[in-house]
Chain A
Amino acid sequence: MSRVVGIDLGTTNSLVAFVKDGAPVVIRDKSGDALVPSVVSIGEDRTIYVGREAQRLLLTHPTRSVYSVKRFMGRSADDVKGEARMFPFRVGTGASDTVVRIGLGEQEFTPPEISAFILRELKRRAEEFFGAQGEIDPDVDRAVITVPAYFNDAQRTATRDAGRIAGLEVLRIINEPTAASLAYGLDKRHTGLIAVYDLGGGTFDISILRVEDGVFQVLATNGDTHLGGDDIDYLMTERVLADLKASGMDTASPEAVQAIRKAVIQAKWDLSDREDTDIVAEIPGTGRSYKQHITRAEFEQIIRPLVDRTLGPCRQALEDAGLAPSQVDEIVLVGGSTRIPLVRRLVGELFGKTPHSELNPDEVVALGAAVQADILVTGNREMLLLDVTPLSLGIETMGGVTSKIIMRNSTIPATGGEMFTTGVDNQTAVDIHVVQGERELVADNRSLARFKLRGIPPMPAGLPRVQVKFQIDANGILSVTAAELRTGIEQAIEVKPSYGLTDEQVEQMLVDSFEHAEADFAARLLIEARNEAESVITATEKSLRTPEFAEIAATELAAGEQKRIEQALAGLKHVMTSPNREAIQQWTHALNDATRHLAEIMMNRSVQAALSGKSVDQV
């Protein structure tokens, strides 16, 4: 029996998990890394690279690489005009009212196709893992994929299309915060009201749930599908670029922008555990470097407006659930951006409680997706997820006004109906425009699809009674059926998704996708060696940057030890980009050896710190 998995298809990172003996676990690569960076790069020979290798290629070949593709899912070229300037790749070619296309090397792809490359890599990673476990049938052909709760129908459909293009049967699309709550509910059989605050790379969600008798019922959800860590990185990058310009170094080459982006992301991470740090970047092609000291307070001042934007949706969700902030029993933090101390503080203030985050905020969504996949295939009835539709569904009526058919925060699956008739004698077709959103005017809402009801029997105007039924399924995806009540004739419905792909297009893309070579076996081994080298380099550099390093070097390290570390580090960095796998492995080994003692010291110190922290609490 082939395996089923849960996939968190994130803006910045993606993960795959499965249920083993009743408990969900994430699948890691050989260097122990669970995160696959959601970056896709294309070689001159059309080889597709995904993950860490693509992330490295983003620095050297920014125009052949794409990241944050999730922000473009289910959107038209028109929609993304404002945002396109944030990214180094070509965005928004093609007609303005069709699905957006993104340039990757010489070619162009739709966002579902690029997402499919990421999904295919996750599928491959899982299959390799199951194969190594000695499974008879390690194939992975079915998955639950998560999406932001606030994703609309077009964005959900685009995600499901991506799964199909990657050769996966998408068992279910589930919401990220809800998946997270499922993962949290496992070890604790708790009852109560939970708020899940999910700030990821590109999206923000807040969901309020009631958990009782193993039923996870979402009461209300809200969010912003274009707000996340990306926006912080962009803001910081812009500041550095302006800084450089002011100092007479006006360089905005794609390579320079990526080097700066990498540096500000590193500084952002540093400031989650430290009060200050330096933004350090070598500017490619100029032989110059940039260095700027930044304190946590300064950083917080810059990003405060972005974090504040998450609080409005929180209040709205609470109001929709009919709750005061203080009634919420627990707050769960999800998404890498919730590591930022300012985010924790503001969320804590809003709810008047300390949010908790026992589980890794990067992994918890994939774990929940795996649990849901397991429920679906095994019929395990211990738990049940009851989710809601995040946005009201409506149709266009006279004067471009929206008439709501299914209200937001309705538990799904849900249905709604509307009666239509004809305006002129013997009219045999009626046009219906379906939109999603809370605004009064159709133009301010999201256009989902236009339907043409055909085959209405010729009758005097106003006499036909066409009952149109809207069904939102458990994925939050809409389908429409119609029947003329006087004759009982089922109507043919022609669907034209506003910014989506047709079934035929998806099928064609599945076929086309096989034309793209994936890196071959030898190339994969090299990539794996580089991935491992990179994780050792990152860990070493982090140790060297910690404020207490100077003191450790002076008191605890042996003579010459620091020098040996620095030499091994430089050596590994030097061979990293070469195609010589053995050299990379040897230097990785050397750096590992050189840092073993330092790693032990750091580990002991953090254990000591944790223990002393605990004893303070207990006093």
Chain B
Amino acid sequence: MTPEVTTPIVQICRTCGGGAPVDVHFCPQCTKILTLGRQGDYFSFLGLPRKLRIDAAELERNFRALSRQFHPDYFYNAPPAERRASLERTSYLNDAYRTLKQPISRIAYLLEREGMGTVSAEREAGAAAQVPPALLEEVFALNEELDEVRSLRAAGTPDAEWKARLERARTPIDTKRDEHERQLEQLSDRWDAAVDGNAAAQERRKILESLRDRMLERNYINNLLAGIERELST
């Protein structure tokens, strides 16, 4: 299924020194919890294929089952090394669960793992991101509209009037966002089909690049919408 794995990755048990396959949580020899060292990724840790359309019920089920295996509550009387392993493994599980639960953070995580860089909205928010080419037209129109609204407001135009105008200016951006959501869903389906069909690396790369571009545009759109909200609430 996943042909990338060419070299077997193993973890070493700190308790007995035995080896264990990656993404196994307890040592096959001595049954003790393994220190979190080398692991695959969030997908494999949670027992899921590296796909974007995941079975939500399966994610929840696996999350609960793994929590029950190594939550710190069950290691309170264990030796310090095992307690530490339990804390680290559970933290990693919780981070994995949170990331894979939402479609957007799932895509961002996949892109990161596939070497496509960081597309996290948090990181982008502060930086003066360049306008994505696909959005030039909308951004241009919106900025003009914002300028007008500001001068209307400065001239003492009633709130209702300029606010209505701002609401109108938002419509095309809203439409664009909905379109992006649809595109992200389509690309997610294409990615999953490529994984299932064992598609060539080049084909996969193209899908990932499209996903990355849509994600960056999405961040930009969200910033635009947040900007409009700020104007409306002043």
Contact = CB atoms under 8 A, between A and B. Distances in A.
Given A376-B76, A384-B67, A411 B126 contact: no
Q: Which of B72, B73, B76, B98 has the most CB of A within 10 A?
A: B73
A575 B94 CA distance: 60
Contacts of B76: 171, 376-377, 379
A260 to B, nearest CB: 42
B126 A379 contact: no
Q: Which of A217, A385, A386 has the most CB of B within 10 A?
A: A386
Interface in B57-116: 60, 64, 67-68, 71-74, 76-77, 87, 90-92, 94-95, 97-98
Given A404-B122, A411-B97, A379 B64 contact: no
B122 A415 contact: no
A215 B138 CA distance: 48
Nearest to A399: B126
A174 to B, nearest CB: 10
A375 B76 CA distance: 9
A119 B79 CA distance: 29
Contacts of B98: 407, 410-411, 414
Interface in A395-410: 397-398, 401, 403-404, 407, 410
Contacts of A379: 74, 76-77
A414 B95 contact: yes
Interface in A191-231: 212-213, 215, 217
Contact of B126 (A217, A372, A401, A414): A401
A473 B73 contact: no
B77 A375 contact: no
Given A215-B68, A386-B67, A413-B87, A474 B73 contact: yes
Contacts of A377: 76-77
A117 to B, nearest CB: 28
Contacts of A410: 94, 98
A381 B72 contact: no
Contacts, number: 61
A263 B195 CA distance: 72
Contact of A411 (B72, B77, B94, B122): B94
B72 A413 contact: yes
Q: Which of A213, A471, A474 has the most CB of B within 10 A?
A: A474
B152 to A, nearest CB: 27
A540 B87 CA distance: 54
A217 B90 contact: no
A412 interface: yes
Contacts of A415: 91-92, 95
A410 B92 CA distance: 12
A471 B91 contact: yes
A474 B72 contact: yes
Contacts of B60: 212
B73 A414 contact: no
B1 to A, nearest CB: 28
Interface in B156-176: none
Q: A-B pairs with the 9 shortest C-beta distances?
A: A411-B94, A413-B91, A376-B76, A415-B91, A215-B64, A474-B72, A414-B94, A413-B90, A410-B98
Interface of B: 60, 64, 67-68, 71-74, 76-77, 87, 90-92, 94-95, 97-98, 122, 126
18 contacts: A171-B76, A213-B64, A215-B64, A375-B73, A377-B76, A379-B74, A384-B67, A385-B73, A398-B126, A403-B122, A403-B126, A407-B98, A410-B94, A413-B91, A414-B91, A415-B95, A474-B73, A474-B87
